[in-house]
Amino acid sequence: MTAFVSDDMRSRLIDAVHEAGQKVLSIYSRDFEVEMKADDSPLTEADMTAHHALVDALRELTPEVPVLSEESGEISFETRKQWDRYWLIDPLDGTKEFVNKNGEFTLNLALVEQGEPVFGIVHAPVLDTTWIGLHGKGAEKQRGDQYESIQVRALPEPDSAPWKVVGSRRHGAETFDAFCAGLPEHECLSMGSSIKLCLVAEGEADLYPRLAPTSEWDTAAAQAVVTAAGGQVLDAQTLEPLRCNQQDSVLNPWFIVCGQRHEIWEKALKSAISG
Ligand SMILES: Nc1ncnc2c1ncn2[C@@H]1O[C@H](COP(=O)(O)O)[C@@H](OP(=O)(O)O)[C@H]1O
Ligand SMILES: [Mg+2]
């Protein structure tokens, strides 16, 4: 358990993410410019507004803890590897969903300690939903002013009830289909952003295979929610938990999110990634 996040700090952090979410919503509800970044992904004023709101709040709350954001610009691994504890944020995950106005985008704030995401807040402002997880203290979902404790669901016996598999709307369709071909009876659901991991955390999905690229800021906050809810986010090759800040690159390996391990999906995964 991380003693660093007290109850008081936790509620201040949730307030800060909600405030940033309100700013994002006010941009969402009017016309906005869309720029293309060097990697051909979109950037809107909402990404930068949420970035500044979250970074300012964190600097005020914990001036001694470094912050890495998708929008901070590169920070060398020489510097980052000295960080035992840092905030990792994706101010707007699912920017394409934001641009397409389907509501499936999130603000993501994680605390990473020794490479492990130990605390996370994932906020979907249009859905008025927030998922929160703290290592050793469980996970919860907030909708409006209702809080409920969440956990992963038990994986049904094969073919006794469909396994629920969630995938990206836009990335990795071919490997996703190859994975699903090796499963017993199942249902598929498409979703944008880190909400996919949160669906596994709350037991609405059993598996989220991400057999396509992402970066550490896309997953760290939701990984903390999943693990606090009793699930796992595993490297698709090694089946070891994803860790942050272990190397120069901030790209994640391909991974799978699960409530429970099972030899059937592990075999389907091996076959899908070996092509
Ligand atoms: N080639 C690539 N390299 C790294 N990350 C990628 C990528 N293609 C997509 N992503 C990540 O996938 C996220 C969206 O996934 P999905 O479509 O499943 O919601 C994007 O988040 P952003 O919207 O924050 O840029 C982006 O970070
Ligand atoms: Mg992202």
Q: What does the pLDDT look like over 224-258, one tens digit per residue?
A: 999 999 999 999 999 999 999 999 999 999 999 99
The CATH homologous superfamily of the domain defined by 7-150 = Fructose-1,6-Bisphosphatase, subunit A, domain 1 (3.30.540.10)
Query: Which residues are placed with Cβ below 5 angstroms of ligand 2, an ion?
Result: 90, 93, 218
Residue percentage of the chain with pLDDT more than 70: 100
| pLDDT the model gives residue 38 | 87
| pLDDT the model gives residue 275 | 80
Mean pLDDT over 187-216 rounds to 98
Structure tokens, 230 = 């009793």
Q: Tell me, what's the ipTM? A: 0.97
Whether ligand 1 lies within 6 angstroms of the CB of 219 is answered as no
Assign 3-class secondary structure to 41-62.
Answer: CEEEHHHHHHHHHHHHHHHHHC
pLDDT band at 274 (very low <50, low <70, confident <90, very high): very high
Q: Residues, the chain, total? A: 275
At residue 7, the 3 state secondary structure works out as helix
Mean pLDDT over 169-193 rounds to 96
SS3 content of the chain, % helix, strand, coil (to 5): 30, 30, 40
Task: Please count the CA atoms within 13 angstroms of the CA of 178 that sit on its side-chain side.
Answer: 16
User: At which residue do the structure tokens 């700013």 appear?
Assistant: 23
Q: How far apart are the CA of 112 and the centre of ligand 1, in A?
A: 20
Question: What does the mean pLDDT of the chain come to?
Answer: 96
Whether ligand 1 lies within 6 angstroms of the CB of 218 is answered as yes
Question: Distance (Å, rounded) from C-alpha 108 to C-alpha 169?
Answer: 19
Judge whether 165 and 75 are in contact, CB under 8 Å: no
Cβ count near 136 (within 10 Å): 10
163-273 to CATH, choices 3.40.190.80, 1.10.357.10, 3.30.365.10, 3.40.30.120: 3.40.190.80
Question: Distance (Å, rounded) from C-alpha 108 to C-alpha 148?
Answer: 19
Does residue 120 carry a pLDDT above 70?
yes
Nearest to 139 by CA among 228, 222, 236, 212: 228
Question: Distance (Å, rounded) from C-alpha 237 to C-alpha 245?
Answer: 18
At 268, the amino acid letter reads: A
Question: Distance (Å, rounded) from C-alpha 192 to C-alpha 167?
Answer: 8
| pLDDT the model gives residue 2 | 73
Mean pLDDT over 14-22 rounds to 98
Residue 113: phi, psi to the nearest 5? -120, 125
Nearest to 98 by CA among 210, 212, 162, 21: 21
Q: What does the pLDDT look like over 19-41, one tens digit per residue?
A: 999 999 999 999 899 999 888 88
Residue among 105, 169, 171 to mutate when testing ligand 1 (max atoms within 8 A of CB): 171
Q: How far apart are the CA of 153 and the centre of ligand 2, in A?
A: 26
Domain boundaries along the sequence of the chain: 7-150, 163-273
Cβ-Cβ contacts under 8 Å for 121 (sequence gap 6 or more): 13, 14, 17, 107, 108, 109, 110, 130, 131, 132, 221
